[in-house]
Amino acid sequence: MSSSSTRLPSDPRGAAPRALWVKDLLAILADDAERGVVVEDGVIVELSAAGGEPTRPATVFDAGVHGVLPGPKPSIWRRCKTGTNTLPWR
């Protein structure tokens, strides 16, 4: 059985959980997320501290060989840092 198909208990109606627990990451740049993150609808909704588990039902993805990096900065920040904000905008 693949670890990606392991599930925490689902709701009593038997529906599969909509959340995904990205568990035991090799590296993550976040406080209190040593055990992983819970993602639902493309958004991180919960952090799992060391030794903890999510509070909501979630499908488990064992990410022991994966890491999480911060997302890209807003485009206005990149434009200012690259110097393109000094160009005339006509």
Q: Is 22 exposed, middle or buried (0-12, 13-18, 19+ CB in 10 A)?
A: buried
pLDDT in tens, 13-26: 556 668 999 999 99
pTM of the predicted model as reported, rounded to 2 decimal places: 0.60
The tokens for 23 are 């568990």
pLDDT in tens, 30-67: 888 999 999 998 888 999 999 999 998 999 999 989 88
